[in-house]
Structure 1
Amino acid sequence: MAIAGGSVASLDQYVVFRLGQESYGIAIEYLQEIIRVPYVVKVPLTPPYMRGLANLRGNILPIYDTRLRLGINATNDDESNRVIVVNAGGKQAGYVVDRVDGVVDIPGEAVEEFQKKGDTGGYVTRAARVGEGKLVLLIEMDQMLKDVGLNDSSVVSLKDTKEYENLGAKEEESKAEENEQQLLTFQVGKEEYALDIADVQEIVHLPENWNVVPDAPPYVLGLVSLRDRVLPLISMRRLFGLPEGEVAGGRIVVAYVGEGKRVAVGLVVDSVAEVLRVAERLLEPVPAVVRRSGDEFAAICRLTDERMLFTLEASRLLRDVTFLTEWEQGGADEVSAYSHKTLEEERQLVTFFLGEEEFALPIDSVREIIRAGRITAVPRTPDFVKGILNLRGSIVPIIDLRCKFGYPEREIDEQVRILICEGNTSVMGLMVDGVKEVVKISVSSIEATPQVLLKDSIQSFVAGIAKFNGERNVILLDPARVMSWEEGAELMEVVEETDISG
């Protein structure tokens, strides 16, 4: 476009998009790419305009609702919605818009500054005249990105993180040297969270009733008695500002929280998913906007493109433990009596089901608990060998305990779990119908194998009977006998001789 005097007008390029009937523009230099609205993981206690976190080719991408950010009423997404991914200094953010119109050249003289900033918080202070009577409101991306913390140097860009690698990218020999963290994962609302397994004492079912405590913080549901111990119940939904939902069928994760991890509490969660071993390189920095919502978030763990979870730091999980410490001091006599009782040796067990029967294994024999993924059948193996599983690059034989113990075959469903057990020289998975809980029991409550089982074929696998309160008896298995490690080594030889590339 020529102007008087023969000089060329200064042109700036903007990405123009719609929010309702209005057109907005972002300077082209901020644009990285435009994508469809991805799956997001919602972050609790964040502002309403933050939709959550997405996985963009291995990078954690915060996603914001541009309508809400500018004070415009939200609408439901449809096929025309897009996310404009912007990049500032190597740090990314995504903004959901109704529709993208394209890239437009706008001369400098067509841009006018507003006299008033209006209701958009200073994010829109200028407008450009484009065509006949059309106005494009120009967004000040510097200010918008600054307000969500993308100018914070402590937010590390994953592109610049030397430790980051995609799943399976490491060479096999370096995998053995990777530092790993063992996590207990659980569900609260629609999202998945995790605690370091070292901070978890046990997992039990949520009872139907508990004692309500007056004048307690809103996140404290009440108190329950757990094996001669009084335990405060902490609602994770309330702690994260989520709707109540149904608590029936929930779980209690008993963990030590607060500074120094000295206070034992029962964290009430919707469900417990599994126990995982995760390479530390997969634990990624927490975006600034998430840190603002609470410092209990330690890292974000990206397991797959559509599965991310938040790892929590137990020492920072409860900001106010005044009520808990006062209760602990007030109940010093009870705690002292309980401590005296716990001098008796205890064992920690993982309990699971086969049909209607409940079994258990010592927790130190179980490396992790996973969902049943794709299992490849292997020829020339016993009937109880379900096949092999690729577990983060390692081949693990899977033993079907139903078949091993003579139970009828059943289909694999969402409840089925695999216990990854580790011996001296080999690793194997035990497939069970479902995992119930992680629980402690005193050694005195474990009886030797009853005489009636000595003639049964299962007796060689039984280490004893764990007696819990009421009529609950759990069959304690001997992990070394369930699948002898020598038998496991022989199985691995067959696996190694079998071509499973197809």
Structure 2
Amino acid sequence: MAEMSPAAAMNGAEHSDKKYVSFTVGSEYFGIPIDEVRQIIRLPKVTRVPKMPVFVLGISNLRGSVLPVLDLSLRLGYQNPCVNGEDTRVIVTEKSGLEIGFVVESVSEVKSTESGSYEELPEMLSSGADRKFISGVLKMRTKDGIRLVQVLDSKELVNIAEIQRKFDESSSQRGFAVKADVADKEVSDYRRFISFEIDGSGYAIEIHKINEIIRLPECVSVPGLESYVMGIFSLREKVIPLMSLHRKFGKKDKPETEDSRVVIIEIENTLVGFIADKVSEVLSVPESSIEEPPKVFSENGSEISAIIKAEQGERLVMILESANLLQAKEIEALKKLAGQEGGNFSMTDASASAAEEKQIVTFTIEDEEYGIFIEKVQEINRYSNVTRVPKTPAFVEGIINLRGEVIPLIDLRKRFELTARTADEFTRVIIVNLASIRVGFVVDFVDEVLRVPSDCIDSVPAVLSAGVDSQFLDGVVNLTGKQRMILLLNVDELFSKAEKKKLEKIGS
């Protein structure tokens, strides 16, 4: 090998006695200084983020923090991603306070360099990786001879300064304060409900009276209770009684299914959950479609306070009055059961509690969970009666007529450049209020209405926000205990100004 230049010799001296982690990508060996490595882990569950550069696999949960995960093979310019096998690892690095995970095919060893073992990158070396990512070459002695390990330049792999700048810009623009839209007269004439099914019948509760909707938790049965009380469960250090409205209404319990949900409400400062066979949709109902119940319902403080005439009167939904679901002695018994006698958890009175929690509608696209702050959601409908419109953007599915208003439908799969999917019985349309127009988002299915603490909402990792064409993420809901991550959409930033003008023309 040619004699090293003085500059190369000095460079090699700087790397003397320095430790490197070496690993493989494809058939090549690469290395990174060990002082930049925070840990090496197995490939975790990764939540994909739409419209990212091809080398960004998504985000994962690392000790309660959001970790961007990059495929190192694709980042280096290779055509194929890293092979995912038993030896696949994620090397977590940190530069300037930013943690990033790089997927590699296997970790070989940790080696200390010797004087003169580091050289500048020879001009003739061509492994297929983009040369700008390689700062030099290590000559590692092995039992089989000398192995060349290409040292990665982490500053080039992730441009920290540029990412931090974009992160600071996007953070100042986004934040997490949810600004409630000023409702116009038309919207104020509507009441919003969440509807659900119990034994084939449709019921609804006004949305502000619902604390949370969750999947069925593990429930502990308690002997000596009324038959309709199924037991208790824990939710964020609160003990909550679980009721069966089937039994309360004199019906038989239904077997648990994938659609079963627990609706959590508050009755006299006491949190109570009841099982619904299925949460159907969010309804935005004009006062003219709400009628007083028949006299037989209104007598003796019935739990049915009114009737919604949905779908032009073809479907009736009974509005439950939560205050009448239980008698006073039943409420007292449940308070003692849950240890909530002091009324220490009031969602209606405690403004501090409201400030500490956010309510989101969660939905699924391509097996990934997304969420929208509920303040932006007007209602959720089934996918039907869609009219196609020619010469519209590719992501516009068509239009629907919503009580005389033309609503453009946006296929979020197409917007996120994902494979198209034929609409089925689970497909839903989420009607969202943008600044100047209402639009409908077509999603695979709506999962639940979730209330989460504000401290569970993390900023979008800078490495992700730097690669997004438009700032369409408001943050990431990081539910560490459940190993669950939900991407929050910033619906106002999903479209450019030109696209919004086109949508306004479609809806006019």
TM-score, structure 2 as length reference: 0.58
SS in 1 for 2:505: helix
1:253–1:269 Cα contact (<8 Å) kept: yes
SS for the counterpart of 2:483 is coil
1:205 matched residue in structure 2? 215
Structure 2 CA distance for aligned equivalents of residues 458 and 222 of structure 1: 49
Structure 2 residue identity aligned to 1:300: I
Corresponding position: 1:183 with 2:193 = yes
Pairing of 1:249-260 with structure 2 (within 5 A): 249=258, 250-257=260-267
2:441 maps to which residue? 430
The answer as to 2:427 corresponding to 1:416 is yes
Matched residues in 2 for 1:228 and 1:217: separation?
A: 24
Write out aligned runs for 1:12-27 (5 A). Answer: none
Identity of matched residues, % = 33
Q: Verify the 8 A CA contact 1:218 1:238 in the aligned structure 2.
A: yes
Which residue of the partner structure matches residue 31 of structure 2?
none
Quote how far apart the aligned CAs of 1:397 are.
Answer: 0.8
- Any residues of structure 2 matched to 1:69-108 within 5 Å, and which? none
Q: Quick one: distance in 2 between partners of 1:452 and 1:405?
A: 18
What CA distance in whole angstroms lies between the structure 2 residues aligned with 1:357 and 1:276?
Answer: 25
Alignment of 1:221-236 (within 5 A): 221-236=230-245
Distance in 1 of aligned mates of 2:193 and 2:249: 20
Q: List alignment gaps of at least 5 residues for structure 1.
A: 1-173, 497-502
Corresponding residue for residue 148 of structure 2 = none
Contact 1:423 1:485 in 2 (8 A): no
Structure 2 Cα separation of the partners of residues 379 and 190 of structure 1? 40
1:277 corresponds, among 261, 275, 284, to 284
For residues 187 and 289 of structure 1, the distance between their equivalents in structure 2, rounded to whole angstroms, comes to 22
Residue 311 (str. 1) matches residue 319 (str. 2): yes
CA change 1:295–1:426 in 2 (3 A) is same
Aligned to 1:350: 361
CA distance in 2 between counterparts of 1:334 and 1:248 reads 33
Written as runs of structure 1 = structure 2, the 5 A alignment for 1:259-338 is: 261-291=268-298, 295-304=302-311, 305-319=313-327, 320-328=330-338
Equivalence for 1:122 = none
The structural deviation recorded for 1:430 is 1.0
Aligned residues of 1:220 and 1:234 also touching (Cα < 8 A):
yes
Q: Which amino acid aligns with 1:225?
A: S
CA distance in 1, matches of 2:351, 2:186: 42
Matched residue, 1:217: 226
Report how far residue 410 of structure 1 moved: 0.6
Matches within 5 A, 1:331-480: 345-454=356-465, 456-457=467-468, 460-468=471-479, 469-480=481-492
Question: Counterpart of 2:489 in structure 1: which amino acid?
Answer: L
Change (3 A) 1:178 1:297: same
What one-letter code is carried by the residue in structure 1 that aligns with 2:288? R
**5+ long unaligned stretches in structure 2:** 1-183
User: Could you say if the C-alpha distance between residues 432 and 340 of structure 1 is closer, same or farther in structure 2, counting changes exceeding 3 Å?
Assistant: closer
Q: 1:177 to 1:197 in 2, by over 3 A?
A: closer
Contact 1:203–1:252 (Cα < 8 Å) also in 2:
yes
CA distance in 2, matches of 1:387, 1:189: 35
Query: CA 1:222–1:479 in 2, change beyond 3 Å: closer, same or farther?
Result: same
Change (3 A) 1:464 1:458: farther
Q: Secondary structure at the match of 2:464?
A: helix
**Structure-2 separation of matches of 1:270 and 1:263:** 23
> C-alpha distance in 2, partners of 1:199/1:306?
26
What CA distance in whole angstroms lies between the structure 2 residues aligned with 1:450 and 1:330? 39
Q: CA deviation at 1:203?
A: 0.8
Larger RCO (CA within 8 A; separation ≥ 6): 2
Structure 2 residue 503 is matched with structure 1 residue 491: yes
CA gap of 1:203–1:483, structure 2 versus 1, over 3 A, is: farther
CA deviation after TM superposition for structure 1 residue 325, in Å: 2.9
Paired AA for residue 368 in structure 2? E
**Aligned mates of 2:208, 2:345 — CA distance in 1:** 22
Structure 1 stretch displaced more, 195-204 or 284-293: 284-293
CA distance change for structure 1 residues 292 and 345 in 2, over 3 Å: closer, same or farther? Answer: closer
Contact 1:420-1:427 within 8 A present in 2 as well: yes
Kept in 1, the 8 Å contact 2:407–2:507? The answer is: no
**Aligned CA distance change for structure 1 residues 212 and 385 (closer, same or farther; 3 Å):** same
Q: Residue type matched to 1:227 in 2?
A: R
Q: Helix, strand or coil: the match of 1:463?
A: strand
The SS at the match of 1:414 is: coil
Helix, strand or coil for the counterpart of 1:265?
A: strand
Q: Which amino acid aligns with 1:476?
A: L
The change in CA–CA distance for 1:485 and 1:203 in structure 2 (over 3 A counts) is: farther
Q: Tell which deviates more after alignment, 357-366 or 446-455.
A: 446-455
- 1:419: how far off? 1.2
Instruction: Name 1:110's counterpart in structure 2.
Output: none
The alpha-carbon deviation at position 285 of structure 1 amounts to 2.3
Residue aligned with 1:176, SS: helix
CA separation in 2, counterparts of 1:270 and 1:484? 40
Distance 2:359 2:468 in 1: 26
> What is the CA distance between 1:478 and its match in structure 2?
1.0
Partner SS state of residue 183, structure 1:
strand
Q: Pairwise mapping of residues 62-211 of structure 1 onto structure 2 (< 5 A)?
A: 176=186, 179-207=189-217, 209-211=218-220
TM-fit CA distance, 1:292: 5.2
Q: For 1:192 and 1:199, how far apart are their aligned partners in 2? A: 17
Code of the residue aligned with 1:306 in structure 2: it is: E
- CA change 1:446–1:191 in 2 (3 A) is same
Letter in 1 for 2:194: L
